[in-house]
Amino acid sequence: TTDFLARVADRRRDARPEKLVWQPVLDWKRQFYWLWWDEPLRNAIVVAELDREANEVRVESEQSLKGLSVLLDEQLLDFSREVVVRVNGAVCFRGTPRPSLAVLLATSGGVDAARTYVARVPVGD
């Protein structure tokens, strides 16, 4: 355990990674970093990537994404510019995300204040 602690002591956790790979296995876990799924499809694989330069989010999955949303704030993307969200290559949102108190409250209930967001863009069919 001492070797392990020495290896991880200098590492910083990234609370807002640019790439996510989520395979839900717990029905009650609806938030995974900056993704939110009302009813996660068990064992589906979702790959999501932020492109901060293009101000864009890309989501890929072979399974249904019904109820899936991308959570956003000004730390992830620039709300003063047009935001684009693509699912499997197709644009599903183009515009300015609207901050919402409901989203802020829904994402602030956990123990990690770094994963609190202000806007939600639905991407599921």
Can you spell out the DSSP letters for 79-115? TTS-EEEEETTEEEEEE-----HHHHHHHSSSS-GGG
Question: What is the per-residue pLDDT for 111?
Answer: 66
Please report whether residue 109 resides in a domain.
Answer: yes
Please report whether residue 3 resides in a domain.
Answer: no
| Residues spanned by the domain of 22 | 16-122
Please report whether residue 10 resides in a domain.
Answer: no
The confidence band for 12, taking pLDDT boundaries of 50, 70 and 90, is: confident
Arithmetic mean of pLDDT, 57-71: 96
Quick: pLDDT tens for 14-40. 778 999 999 999 888 999 999 999 999
Arithmetic mean of pLDDT, 108-115: 75
Least trusted range by pLDDT, from 11-15, 25-29, 39-43, 84-88: 11-15
The count of domains in the chain is 1
The confidence band for 8, taking pLDDT boundaries of 50, 70 and 90, is: low
DSSP one-letter code for 43? T
Please report whether residue 11 resides in a domain.
Answer: no
Please report whether residue 9 resides in a domain.
Answer: no
Please report whether residue 34 resides in a domain.
Answer: yes
Please report whether residue 5 resides in a domain.
Answer: no
Give, for 2, the enclosing helix (H) or strand (E): helix 2-8
Read off the pTM. 0.87
Please report whether residue 89 resides in a domain.
Answer: yes
pLDDT at 2 exceeding the cut of 90 = no
